[in-house]
Copies of this chain bind each other. A is one copy, B any other.
Amino acid sequence: MKKFPQKTVTRTLLYVRTLDNLLEQGKKFVSSWELAEITDLTDVQIRKDISNFGRVGRPRLGYEIRKLKSILEEYVLQHTVHVVLFGVGNLGSAIIRYPGFHNEKIKMVAAFDVDKKKVGKKIRDVKIYSFDEATKVVPKTHAEIGIIAVPAEHSQETADIIVASGLRGIVNFTPTTINVPKDVFVKNIDLSIEFLSLFCDIQRT
């Protein structure tokens, strides 16, 4: 896999999502300008991003949606991502029920909780295991990413279990920074910070 600007990767995933929608609407071609309208970016930005993946557009017509989508996916979506969830509380339950995590792109394959009342249950075909079973169960699921949705004070021990289970990616919803070996990638999603930074944007105008 060649390496592209990090931002390009994120936007490319947005393009794929958009192209999916356009396909559903029965459209065949789309121009960089139209994509810019939909995604709230600029047409130049979009052409620049796409140019990373080769010459795929046709002057006067734009991009053939199906073709563009398949080329982009080749670079950013080689195969299904399998995720496991740690902490089936308020947030975890919502995530486990999210249809966006039960499709051909992302599949949730197992969940873990310390609460004995939850262990053994199933939500949306996802079985809930005890935390102790993680290092044994996770490898069998072929998961690549673990989600941390436990109380903040247990985020580090959960991260340790995730690492011990062999996962290389973590999405951390707790408002804490976790320590992991440097070959493990962490994406922190701190909702409070998102809201506060948006508020700063508003104030500064």
Residues of A within 8 A of B (CB): 1, 3, 9-10, 13-14, 17-18, 38-40, 76-78, 81, 83, 90-91, 93-95, 97-98, 100-101, 105-106, 144-145, 168-169, 171, 175, 177, 183, 185-187, 189-205
Bound CA–CA A205/B144 (angstroms): 14
Q: Report whether over half of chain A's contact residues are helix, strand or loop; otherwise say mixed.
A: helix
Q: Which residue of B lies closest to A9 (CB)?
A: B200
Complex partner residue of A199 from B95, B98, B169, CB under 8 angstroms: B169
| Distance between A56 CB and nearest chain B CB, rounded to angstroms | 19
| Cβ contacts under 8 Å, A13 to chain B | 192-193, 196-197, 200
Complex partner residue of A105 from B3, B14, B192, CB under 8 angstroms: B192
| Cβ contacts under 8 Å, A3 to chain B | 204
Assess the B81–A169 pair: CB atoms within 8 A: no
| Cβ contacts under 8 Å, A185 to chain B | 198, 201-202
